[in-house]
Amino acid sequence: MEWINVILQGVLVGGLYAMFAAGLSLIFGVMRLVNIAHGDLIVLAAYVALVATQTFGIGPLTALIIVVPVMAIIGYALQWFVLNRTLGEDLLPPLLVTFGLSVIIQNGLLTAFTADNVKLQAGGIEVATIRLAEGLYVGVLPLLQFAVAVAVIAGLQFIFYRTAIGRAFRATADDPAVAQLMGLDNRRVFALAMAASLAVVAIAGVFLAVRANFDPSQGPARLIFGFEAVIIGGLGSLWGTLAGGLILGVAQAVGAHLDPGWQILAGHVAFLIVLAARPQGLFAKVHT
Amino acid sequence: MPEALLAVRNLEAFYGDFQALFGVSIEVARAEAVAVIGANGAGKSTLLKSIAGLLRARRDAIAFAGEPIGGMPAYAVAARGIALVPEGRGLFPSLSVEENLLIGGQLGRLGAWTLRRVYELFPVLGQRRKLPSTALSGGQQQMAALGRALMANPQLLLCDEISLGLAPIVVREIYARLPGVRAEGTAIVLVEQDVVQALAAASRVYCLQEGRVALSGAAKDLTREAIAAAYFGV
């Protein structure tokens, strides 16, 4: 029973990791861009939520109504004015620019909010639990986060495979030149993709803010977890990203149960095992 | 004399420092089929890519429906009503056959060509609509690429070597559909290495040789000797 509880907690955390990863996976899939600032943007979203809750006196989950559109607009503008200029044959410019962006975001947040830990209060929901079975309890908030993560991935999957804009994303990723022949402006397609990515980042940021303390320096760790989840799951597969997040979460939970100091390490070990055994990831989609 | 739908005047094209076209001028009237023939490297594909906006051109070098379009980005040219069937088909591998056709109609321009009509033109595509586009044979892929361009309901269709790599019987099957396309009022530019097929399908011919127009005229008026001389530059 004890181990079931451990696995369960790992699965629920894994949902959160999958949400960290989903935006990253989307952007790499559409425009082959590795966004080094991804984790910092999650933290930025958390601070936007902080400002929203303080300014309007609303709860963090209600603040999503503000944070999601704000981050989506930031994403569109970031892609349109900055990142579109870095895209080309070379993989290096986007890496360098997003690395610089990461530094700017961290220091900007540090200046605006200081290095103090903060956490958003969601009220009673944070401590509410549901009893699944004898000795098996699950927190309502982690369950909600997991459900939202699955819904977000399902939503992205729907957009990608059942809508016209999703077709545009996939076609532009396949062949940007021929996509132009269809009347698609690559700059706009990429900007919309980044807006979608940061909308997901917004949700991940709010959940991060409610779950634990955060401060401006937490971005890179989120990036690592998101990155590992994407790689474990396999590039090009959103459900694979969910699986990757779950595996990472369970690995960390198992490691933590054996010894609290092993939590993060266990996740990295799982990542390395997958990378060694199946480098393309567990559910990678391969194009011929 | 009715104004030409497409007027290319003294077009030059460069790949870096390499000049591929030297002052090429062609005209295409509404609903007309024009062939552009020439040997490998003559500049035929370069001409189409310049018209389609994939290569930079001087603004006044290309006029479409009276408006200068030279140098416009490809997505803007497509929005004007020009559809290119690229060399090598250029189908999207991540998309199914039907999705490839649907994205051809992305701009939402209404006209004679709908998904149903494309499936009527090429029934084999309808049978394989849910398959990934990579599962089609070469000839079927060419039909899909043509269908995808038609879905944009273009006024001008640019076909870049649609016979390339296909068996003659398949090429004949595809070319047999082109009169149906013209009947809807679409002008066609056929870039071809298969001279016989191009001459049969087009009313006028331009022959390019090393980036210049070496010969032009009505298809029925040109002799084999004249064409061979222009094609090979002898």
Q: At what angle do helices A219-233 and A2-31 cross, to 10 degrees?
A: 90
Nearest-Cα residue of chain A relative to residue B53: A181
Using an 8 Å Cβ cutoff, are A45 and A205 in contact?
A: yes
Please state, in angstroms and rounded to a whole number, the distance separating the CA atoms of residues B10 and B23.
4
What pLDDT, on the 0 to 100 scale, is given for residue A287?
43
Token readout for B86 is: 């690229």
Please state, in angstroms and rounded to a whole number, the distance separating the CA atoms of residues B103 and A164.
8
Using an 8 Å Cβ cutoff, are B40 and B193 in contact?
A: yes
Window 148-177 of A, Cβ < 8 Å to B: 164, 167-168, 170-171, 173-175, 177
Largest CA distance in chain B: 50
What pLDDT, on the 0 to 100 scale, is given for residue B224?
81
φ, ψ of residue A189 to 5 degrees: the values are -60, -45
User: Based on the number of CB atoms within 10 Å of its own CB, is A184 exposed (0-12), middle (13-18) or buried (19 or more)?
Assistant: buried
Please state, in angstroms and rounded to a whole number, the distance separating the CA atoms of residues A76 and A97.
16
What pLDDT, on the 0 to 100 scale, is given for residue B26?
95
- Angle value at C-alpha A214, between A210 and A217, nearest 5 degrees: 150
B48 near A CB under 8 A: no
Per-position DSSP letters for B127-172, written without gaps between them: HTTTSBGGGS-HHHHHHHHHHHHHTT--SEEEEE-TTTT--HHHHH
Please state, in angstroms and rounded to a whole number, the distance separating the CA atoms of residues A35 and B156.
41
First and final C-alpha spacing in chain B: 34
A181 near B CB under 8 A: yes
Using an 8 Å Cβ cutoff, are A122 and A61 in contact?
A: yes
Please state, in angstroms and rounded to a whole number, the distance separating the CA atoms of residues A36 and A221.
11
| Model pLDDT for residues B158-202, shown as the tens digit of each residue | 999 999 989 989 999 999 999 989 999 999 999 998 888 888 899
Please state, in angstroms and rounded to a whole number, the distance separating the CA atoms of residues A39 and B123.
50
Token readout for B146 is: 């043509």
ipTM, 2 dp: 0.91
Using an 8 Å Cβ cutoff, are B38 and B209 in contact?
A: yes
What pLDDT, on the 0 to 100 scale, is given for residue B219?
87
Q: Which residue has the higher pLDDT, B10 or B220?
A: B10
Window 159-198 of B, Cβ < 8 Å to A: none
What pLDDT, on the 0 to 100 scale, is given for residue A288?
31
Residue A175 and residue B92: Cβ atoms within 8 Å? yes
What pLDDT, on the 0 to 100 scale, is given for residue A99?
96
What pLDDT, on the 0 to 100 scale, is given for residue B230?
81
Taking alpha carbons only, the member of A249, A248, A222, A232 closest to residue A284 is A232
Please state, in angstroms and rounded to a whole number, the distance separating the CA atoms of residues A253 and A10.
5
What is the rounded radius of gyration, in angstroms, for the C-alpha atoms of chain B?
Answer: 17
Q: Looking at CA atoms only, how far is residue A67 from chain B in angstroms? A: 31
Please state, in angstroms and rounded to a whole number, the distance separating the CA atoms of residues A3 and A5.
5
Please state, in angstroms and rounded to a whole number, the distance separating the CA atoms of residues A155 and A18.
13
What pLDDT, on the 0 to 100 scale, is given for residue B145?
96
Give the count of Cβ contacts less than 8 A between chain A and B.
Answer: 69
Q: Looking at CA atoms only, how far is residue B177 from chain A in angstroms? A: 22
Candidates A164, A186, A288; nearest CB to B93: A288
For B212, the 3-state DSSP assignment is strand
Q: Which residue has the higher pLDDT, A287 or B134?
A: B134
Candidates B54, B93, B103; nearest CB to A182: B103
pLDDT value at B234 more than 80: no
What pLDDT, on the 0 to 100 scale, is given for residue A285?
73
Residue A171 and residue B92: Cβ atoms within 8 Å? yes
First and final C-alpha spacing in chain A: 46
Q: At what angle do helices A2-31 and A238-258 cross, to 10 degrees?
A: 140
φ, ψ of residue A56 to 5 degrees: the values are -105, 0
Which positions in chain A touch B52 (Cβ < 8 Å)?
Answer: 181
Count of beta carbons in the 10 Å neighbourhood of residue A116? 8
DSSP state of B96: B
User: Which residues, given as ranges, of chain A have pLDDT below 70?
Assistant: 1, 286-288
Please state, in angstroms and rounded to a whole number, the distance separating the CA atoms of residues A159 and A169.
10
Taking alpha carbons only, the member of B202, B105, B126 closest to residue B162 is B202
What pLDDT, on the 0 to 100 scale, is given for residue B2?
60
Residue A164 and residue B106: Cβ atoms within 8 Å? yes
Using an 8 Å Cβ cutoff, are A71 and A48 in contact?
A: yes
Sheet containing strand B62-64, strands side by side:
B18-28, B6-15, B62-64, B67-68
Q: Looking at CA atoms only, how far is residue B171 from chain A in angstroms? A: 23
Using an 8 Å Cβ cutoff, are B180 and B113 in contact?
A: no
What pLDDT, on the 0 to 100 scale, is given for residue B33?
94
The rounded mean pLDDT for chain B is 91
Q: Looking at CA atoms only, how far is residue A146 from chain B in angstroms? A: 29
Q: CA distances (Å), A16 to each of A128, A131, A262, in order?
A: 18, 21, 20
Q: What is the distance, to the nearest Å, from the Cα of residue A11 to the centroid of all Cα atoms in its chain?
A: 16
Using an 8 Å Cβ cutoff, are A21 and A230 in contact?
A: yes
| Model pLDDT for residues B205-228, shown as the tens digit of each residue | 999 999 999 999 998 888 888 888
Q: What is the distance, to the nearest Å, from the Cα of residue A28 to the centroid of all Cα atoms in its chain?
A: 12
Please state, in angstroms and rounded to a whole number, the distance separating the CA atoms of residues A47 and B96.
42
What pLDDT, on the 0 to 100 scale, is given for residue B62?
95
Which positions in chain B touch A182 (Cβ < 8 Å)?
Answer: 75, 78, 103-104, 106-107, 148, 152
| Model pLDDT for residues B100-114, shown as the tens digit of each residue | 999 999 998 889 999
Please state, in angstroms and rounded to a whole number, the distance separating the CA atoms of residues B58 and B61.
5
